[in-house]
Chain A
Amino acid sequence: MAELLLDVNDLKVHFATEDGIVRAVDGVSFELERGQVLGIVGESGSGKSVTAMTLMGLTRDVNSRFEGEVLYKGRDLLKVSDAELQNFRGNEIGMIFQDPMTSLNPVYRIGEQICEAIQSHETIDKRGARRRSVELLRQVGIPNPDSRVDDFPHQFSGGMRQRAMIAMALACNPDVLIADEPTTALDVTIQAQIIELVGRLKQDFDSSVILITHDLGVVADIADEIIVMYAGRIVERAATHDLFYDPQMPYTWGLLGSIPRLDRPRPDRLHTITGAPPSLINLPQGCKFRPRCPHAFEKCTEEPALENRVETPGHLDRCWLDVEYKRAHREETIGGGHTEAA
């Protein structure tokens, strides 16, 4: 058994707003082992980014309330002080943000920004920090790192900025790297480069990676385990292979069916998930996906627990439907070409 790095237990993150309490994350549990790549998939507003930011202590605010625990190597990150948390950020857990255009400071050189990350965690002189920065830029595949280290962010293309962000996140050899939609703003060709890079980090740095995305295609070939989130909950969790070949939640089918696929014939219509995600202030009763689910029945007004309902241990889902019924009907959704009446 590999070393357990992160153990999240029944995490709840609620924000008090003028309109009411936003239950952004409502009872999420998962574990992350060393060397593992965990994919978290869901639509905007499903709570995937809030979960990730909470691991870094970035959601701490007067308006936020936390419950549950986030154990990092046995210490509860929800309970450590802000000053102590600073030792974890960057040093132990690194984060790559979605938009490389806005997450770098435009008035500082790339090298200065990476050096700052190194120097705030280690006692190292300027020259040493700079040498490390150049080496990091080389490792993430920036050509001519010796001269590019002195460039400003605007002199980098989108893909290079994202590489610089990754270099910065890796500066202190974190054990856990959280990548929040690292490729959404990028071209498909650059996306392929970045995904390959993230996969390589696992070997080169012996890091664990949490990869957050809305596109199941992105995590298909690098994740070991995938969590599907909806309305602040985990609705399905399985090893990558099982999630793609034996998906149990109709929501997961919908996500799979929405992708225009090159490996299948072009359907007349793409599958769509009707409606929009529910408001996190006023959640529907029972299964949160019920209002949008074409297979919903009476029992769905009662919320199903996240349980193992199939033969494979570790494959959890929140759906009352009979497993055999699901296996018989899911291809209609995943295969596309059918749209159920709204």
Chain B
Amino acid sequence: MSTNGGGASTNGSSGDALVELRHVKKYFPIRKGVLQREVARVHAVDDVSFAVREGETLGLVGESGCGKSTLGRTIVRLLEPTAGEILFRGQRIESMGARQLRPLRREMQMVFQDPYASLNPRRRVGTIIGVPMKIHGLGNAAERKVQVQELLETVGLSPEHYNRFPHEFSGGQRQRIGIARALALRPKLVVADEPVSALDVSIQSQMLNLLEDLQSEFGLTYIFIAHDLGVVRHVSDRIAVMYLGKLVELSPAEELYQRPIMPYTEALLSAVPIPDPKLAAARHRIVLEGDVPSPINPPSGCRFHPRCRYATQVCSEVEPPLVDYGNGHLAACHHPLNVDAAALQAAEVAANTPAAADEHALPSDSSGTSDPVVGEAGDPRRSSPA
């Protein structure tokens, strides 16, 4: 009951998935002493499973330190996962070597956050964008130059910029160069790691529109990493919310804003500034206390419980499984919000529940303790003191 085995059907993933993650973990060892013994581990990504369909945009949201960037880098295999499987077009890539990966690199590219740090200041724009093509042996020098100039126009720069250096451009223009570089190899998947958070709002909106245009022009699939739910809503089809290495909610984009289930998502939503003084004053802002706890020693049970205003004892003892509340809306919470009794009854433990990691895995009906008033009911089930 705690896990109903089965395929990935509840996840909504099937043959059309471009990327699929199964129980992906990424731990970083902390080594100390002369022998460099491993003394602790940073649990950056801890058992994350989801699938991204071709042509879809998946928003990946969370605070600094929640593992969203690590996950993004792991997906494009800039990092090797500690455990779990990553499938790209059905092919397992999680333990491929550099040589095996090279042909796949053409298909997955990354746009980085800081346009000031991600472009080599000593290379001309033409070289920065053209080098990936050269590495992959695409065309001769003259053909590459034509292609780079076309790309520059596609991203809204001018072909004359070919011979300039990055310092001659503003932040927004540099980000366009970074995008052109990512597109140089005509990838299928682009992982964009906070591509707009370093930019002014006016430039940010240009960039979001550009990313949308490019998606339809090149048939791209995006994984869009950001901490601002306002920005993510504008581009995403589905949104995954991460907290301390865990996937805590996964939902179709609009639904997440209409009815967030996880209290963390609710708090993230309420933190987005609203440019309307009356609405801003009227709304109830949930200010989360403190910072994200250390991923070296994550809290027991639900990792969000020390900052959660609905937390009861069960939250500190039992890790909530990821439950499917219908309509492809998954959440991991003992006290789900915006869920009526019927939906709760119908909710099944999703197939991708981290069974192995979740040694206290609950029978699915125990989520009937969702009403905070009867939160006590969870107690008798506790299997071991924390």
Contacts and interface: CB of A to CB of B under 8 A. Distances in A.
* B: contact size bracket: 35 or more
Contacts of A221: 273-274, 277, 280-281
B158 interface: no
Interface string B207-228: 0110010000000000000011
B310 interface: no
B274 A43 contact: no
Contact of A254 (B202, B228, B269, B281): B202
Given A188-B271, A215-B273, A258-B202, A263 B254 contact: no
Interface string A140-157: 000100000000000001
A8 interface: no
Contacts of B254: 266
Q: Which of B267, B269, B287 has the most C-beta atoms of chain A within 10 angstroms of its own C-beta? A: B287
Given A214-B200, A269-B209, A272-B202, A220 B287 contact: no
A220 B233 contact: no
Contacts of B280: 220-221
Given A254-B202, A255-B201, A271-B205, A262 B288 contact: no
Contacts of A276: 170, 172
Contacts of B268: 188-189
B155 to A, nearest CB: 14
A262 B201 contact: no
B291 A270 contact: no
Interface in A77-97: none
A189 B273 contact: no
A311 to B, nearest CB: 19
B385 interface: no
Interface in A221-262: 221, 240-241, 244, 254-262
A280 interface: no
A273 interface: yes
Nearest to A44: B200
A123 B270 CA distance: 45
Contacts of B208: 260, 270
A286 B114 CA distance: 35
A104 interface: no
A193 interface: yes
Contact of A244 (B64, B272, B277, B291): B277
Given A192-B288, A259-B201, A263-B276, 12 more contacts: A143-B290, A189-B63, A190-B291, A193-B287, A195-B273, A216-B275, A220-B276, A220-B277, A221-B274, A259-B275, A260-B230, A276-B172
30 contacts: A44-B171, A157-B64, A157-B291, A187-B64, A188-B229, A188-B268, A192-B271, A192-B288, A195-B273, A196-B287, A220-B276, A221-B273, A221-B274, A221-B280, A244-B277, A258-B204, A259-B201, A260-B205, A260-B230, A261-B274, A262-B230, A262-B257, A262-B272, A269-B212, A270-B209, A270-B234, A272-B202, A272-B209, A273-B202, A276-B172
